[in-house]
Amino acid sequence: MRVNGVERAAPDDTRRLLSDHLRHNLGLTGTHVGCEHGVCGCCTVLLDGAPVRSCLMLAVQAEGHDVTTIEGLARDGSALHPVQQAFHECHALQCGFCTPGFVMSVVGLLAQHPHPTEQEVDEGIAGNLCRCTGYASIRRAVTRAAELSR
Amino acid sequence: MTTRWFGAPVQRVEDDRLLRGRGRFTDDFGDGALECCFVRSPYAHARIRSIDASAARAMPGVVAVYTAADLPFGGVDLPLLIPHPNLTHGRTQRCLASERVRYAGEAVAFVIAASRYVAEDAAELVEVDYEPLPVVITPEAALIAQHLVHDDVPGNVAAEMLQEVGDVDKAMREAAHRERLTFRYERAAASPMEGRAVWARWSPGDRKLTVYDSTQSPTSIRGGLAVLFGLPESNVEVIAPDVGGGFGPKIMLFYPDELLVPYAAMQLRRPVKWTEDRQEHFTAVNQERGQVHEVEVGFDGDGRVVALSDDFIHDGGAYTPYGIILPIISAAQLPGPYRIPNYRVRFRDLYTNATPTSPYRGAGRPHACFVMERTLDTIAAELHLDRIEVRRRNLIQASEFPYEVGVAWQDGNTVVYDSGDYPTLLEMAIANLGTKPAGDNVGMGIGIYVEGTGVGPYEGAHVQVLVSGKVVAATGIPSQGQAHATVWAQVVADELGVEVGDVEVTSGDTRRFPWGVGTFASRGAVTAGNAMHVAARMVADKAKLIAADHLEAAVEDLELVDGRVRVKGSPDRGIPLGAVAVLSNPVRYAFGGGTEAATQFAAKPREGPPLRDGEQPGLEATGYYSPPGSTWASGCHAAYVRVDPKTFRLEILKYVVVHDCGRVINPLVLQGQIEGGVAQGIGGAFYERLAYDDDGQLRNASFMEFLMPYATEIPPIEIDHIETPSPLNPLGVKGAGEAGVIPVGAVLASAIEDATGLKITEMPLSPLKLYELSMLRK
């Protein structure tokens, strides 16, 4: 599999979840695990550009695919990705635990809907749980990200 | 002080690394550590006949399996925090149960293996022979006491407390109207997105224990571990790195893993890590909010309350590790913003076969607010008065502060409101709510609350100017998302005349600041915020003293501006703060530039020894702030809702908040705290329910069935503020962390009752619950 553009080997252990593989084998700990049953969305990564739950996939299932994690959006030292920048400007994160999953979902959403309506925003982030923000600032961030991406 | 940063919507300095996936949560550490899994009781109440871990121990990859018999502290009860004379029958669990389990999820064995996968497989092989016992699951059943949770606790009563202000019996007798009401609030779960986790390593050579813990109180964890393991506190380091939400349950200590993981690391001489999974979080992490209130209220023909008597039972859960703080808070906060001349409150804290309880955001207040607000709505209905008018007539007026309520508060004092303006909150909320939207099945709800925040005993802070001119600051209490690194930097930057970006804050790391209490009770801004202010001011004073020598100016003529100490009116006569830091340390070996001024061969040597009597090297200071009493924040929420008459789907058409937490440090951060709190309140009021069955099994221990709201359930929240500064602290601030959640249940109950005509006396609600109520009415 290619992870953030780099060819990486799959784990020997076929039981290994993609989320665990990313975090603990590849050291990409920006992908978080909040429920391990596919509801909270903290572990969202892009698989060939589309958001998926990395806790609901075995790592070996990602063989031959492109995986993008939060670390792959902006290189260290370079400017934030527009979605990351928008989350910062709009105070769309507090504890930051759900944030990578939200950011990846929004990257996926904006790829599909560059100018999302209010309803598309709500639906686009309705697969991710946040316990801190109450979502209002995240909604604002999605709108802002769409502006920044133009 | 200058007010350049204080009050400004400064964007957060902690965001960048969190957004790049460079956060540092506990499970992000510990590559190569041994990993663990608990064996937990599947029964809510059972006697343990035997435990056989031999098959698990024999499994390849398993390093150790601990049962109580394997632990030197296996027979020791875990600490009981905050003892109270009324807690006559306090009980705490043991690290691992060996004789009796009292809630489903109680830890029985602990498996340590090469990986989590192996540990979970091995946990399946631990054979525990249970003899199930009768279960007490509701507080009502606990009160009947047909069965006991603890054989030696009669009536399941852990504590009882009775308080009275005025003469309730007399006032009730003389009241023109009296009503008896029953209100029921169920348990709830905080559910931070990050579960709990602990990673420990032991250095045998220097006998140093280092523990990373997703806790709200690393200083207390350190103190407890030092005592248990017989180490000087200086040999124990506890770090709460990034913590993925707390909301209360992470202030609880000790959870069994907080002892077992460090113990295993010491025994096995290898790093050990345990990370909770979501299912065990639902049963093994403390919950809150279960109470049943029996109220009698006496009122006059104008709707003024003349007497209020409340007798409530509190679902304490299987143990009382956190004392009786919760019912104490409920009892104290029930009168809220209202003048209740005669008030009597009794509570009994009861044991049940459910997960123990300790504060969850709001901590005793949402239920108390619900009871008071529902009572006022009942008075309004009885007298055919407007609900808002009844509140107007009962509110404490702005001229009445300080206002003494007279009942016991959680800090050991009695409740005295320091400042506030409740009538203005109410009028602003009504104005902001505006006219009722057209259409059928629309209702209005309103709720007002006060919140005792900023409880002591104290917090401290260390502030240091480096020779680079940058500033580092540290405090003991960790952040779980409350933007400590930004708001403390604002406070420090103002005192030192530097940019926020020049101040780097560390919180929750005992290596940097070993003293303090914790992040809870909406206390961070008040306690640590003021400690930062105190410490930074000490540093500023020291900088002026040193610069005065150097600039040959009087101390009182100096000011700190733009990273320099300079003479007022002569901005060119000044010295950079970094150079003052150099001067503060009389050096023999110099680093960092500018040091020629600080050597013994300096051009202008000071008289006397390099350090004069009482002087300490370094441009740094440690300051503390200890509040004389709590600061009392307040707010009013109001909403319009629509309830579908067939499906009972709830639609929140408008939700307004008017909030008062004294002076606001950072409005951006405050807005986030309130929006998040209201969302958590909406979840708790209408979507989330802990569905325990009669056997004490939590039937919905997953996010599939415990319905935390997504964005689709949470409406926009309109927020407005007033500021009544607290007279109790230098910054004039009050706490804000819990505020958003407190009145939401009361507001939605009021609005739903208005919309549907269904009498709402319990929480949580749901479409199903409303349907059931509508069937009962028919």
Domain-embedded: residue B142: no
CATH classification of the domain holding B703: 3.30.365.10
pLDDT at position B613 = 87
Task: Confirm or reject contact between B20 and chain A (CB < 8 A).
Answer: yes
Domain-embedded: residue B662: yes
In the numeric block, which tokens belong to residue A99?
Answer: 């944030």
Q: How far does B247 lie from chain A, in Å, by closest CA?
A: 9
- Same domain, yes or no: B674 and B609: no
Round to whole Å and give the CA distance between A52 and A55.
9
- Same domain, yes or no: B424 and B511: no
Binary contact (B710, A126; C-beta < 8 A): yes
Q: CB–CB of B695/B41 below 8 Å?
A: no
pLDDT at position B2 = 47
Domain-embedded: residue B272: yes
Domain-embedded: residue B314: no
Q: How far does A64 lie from chain B, in Å, by closest CA?
A: 24
pLDDT at position B635 = 98
At CA B75, angle to CA B71 and CA B77, rounded to 5? 115
Beta strands B471-475; B718-721: pairing state: unpaired
- Same domain, yes or no: B211 and B68: yes
Binary contact (B711, A87; C-beta < 8 A): no
Domain-embedded: residue B55: yes
Residue-wise pLDDT tens digits, B46-86? 999 999 999 999 999 999 999 999 999 999 999 999 999 99
Domain-embedded: residue B160: no
In the numeric block, which tokens belong to residue B671?
Answer: 């807005």
Among B625, B660, B691, residue at a domain's last position: B625
Round to whole Å and give the CA distance between A120 and A109.
8
Round to whole Å and give the CA distance between B726 and B633.
9
Name the DSSP letter for residue B11.
P
Q: CB–CB of A138/A130 below 8 Å?
A: yes
Cα B703 to Cα A36, B191, B707: the distances in Å are 10, 10, 6
Cα B367 to Cα B180, B246, B390, B758: the distances in Å are 17, 20, 20, 19
Round to whole Å and give the CA distance between B490 and B485.
9
Residue-wise pLDDT tens digits, B621-634? 999 999 999 999 99
Overall domain count for chain B: 3
Among B573, B593, B625, residue at a domain's last position: B625
Total residue count of chain B as it appears in this document: 778
Q: What percent of chain A has pLDDT over 70?
A: 100
At CA A86, angle to CA B679 and CA B722, rounded to 5? 50
Domain-embedded: residue B295: no
* Nearest 10 degrees: Cα torsion A136, A137, A139, A145: 170
- Same domain, yes or no: B113 and B262: yes
According to the 3-state scheme, what is the secondary structure of B72-95? CCCCCECCCCCCCCCCCCCCCCEC
What value does the CA radius of gyration of chain A take, rounded to a whole number of Å?
15
pLDDT at position B3 = 54
Q: What amino acid is encoded at B589 in this protein?
A: Y
Helices and strands counted in chain B (H then E) = 18, 29
- Same domain, yes or no: B746 and B605: no
Mind listing the domains of chain A with CATH numbers?
A: 2-72 (3.10.20.30), 82-149 (1.10.150.120)
Q: How far does B673 lie from chain A, in Å, by closest CA?
A: 7
Backbone angles phi, psi at B446, to 5 degrees: -145, 150
- Same domain, yes or no: B692 and B767: yes
Task: Confirm or reject contact between A126 and chain B (CB < 8 A).
Answer: yes
Q: CB–CB of B750/B448 below 8 Å?
A: no
Task: Confirm or reject contact between A75 and chain B (CB < 8 A).
Answer: no
Residue B768 class from Cβ within 10 Å (0-12 exposed, 13-18 middle, 19+ buried)? exposed
Cross-chain CB nearest to B711 (options A87, A99, A122): A122
Q: With contacts defined as CB-CB under 8 Å, which chain B residues touch A33?
A: 27
Residue-wise pLDDT tens digits, A45-90? 999 999 999 999 999 999 999 999 999 999 888 999 999 999 999 9
Cα B621 to Cα A50, B463, B762: the distances in Å are 52, 6, 51
ipTM for the assembly: 0.98
Name the DSSP letter for residue B239.
E
Binary contact (B717, A136; C-beta < 8 A): yes
Domain-embedded: residue B163: no
pLDDT band at B608 (very low <50, low <70, confident <90, very high): confident
- Same domain, yes or no: B206 and B272: yes
Q: CB–CB of A20/A59 below 8 Å?
A: yes
Q: With contacts defined as CB-CB under 8 Å, which chain B residues touch A134?
A: 672, 675-680, 714, 717, 740
Q: Mean pLDDT across chain A, nearest whole number?
A: 97
Among B625, B645, B672, residue at a domain's last position: B625
Q: With contacts defined as CB-CB under 8 Å, which chain A residues touch B194?
A: 32, 34, 95, 97
- Same domain, yes or no: B230 and B263: yes
- Same domain, yes or no: B644 and B730: yes
Alpha helices by DSSP H, listed for B100-159, are 116-125, 139-144
- Same domain, yes or no: B477 and B577: yes
- Same domain, yes or no: B547 and B461: yes
Residue A6 class from Cβ within 10 Å (0-12 exposed, 13-18 middle, 19+ buried)? exposed
Task: Confirm or reject contact between B278 and chain A (CB < 8 A).
Answer: yes
Residue-wise pLDDT tens digits, B751-777? 999 999 999 999 999 999 999 999 998
Cα A73 to Cα A10, A98, B405, B496, B634: the distances in Å are 22, 16, 55, 37, 42
Partners of B658 in beta bridges: B636, B720
Beta strands B570-576; B564-567: pairing state: antiparallel
Give mean pLDDT, residues B321-343: 97
Q: With contacts defined as CB-CB under 8 Å, which chain B residues touch A130?
A: 193
- Same domain, yes or no: B588 and B640: no
Q: With contacts defined as CB-CB under 8 Å, which chain B residues touch A20?
A: 116
Cross-chain CB nearest to B676 (options A70, A84, A132): A132
In the numeric block, which tokens belong to residue B86?
Answer: 């009324």
Least confident residue range of B343-347, B373-377, B410-414, B492-496: B410-414
- Closest residue in A to B245 (Cα) is A95
* Residue B604 pLDDT exceeds 80: no
- Closest residue in A to B32 (Cα) is A24
Residue B228: give the domain boundaries: 32-133+190-284
pLDDT at position B598 = 67
Task: Confirm or reject contact between B245 and chain A (CB < 8 A).
Answer: yes
Partners of B586 in beta bridges: none
CATH classification of the domain holding B82: 3.90.1170.50
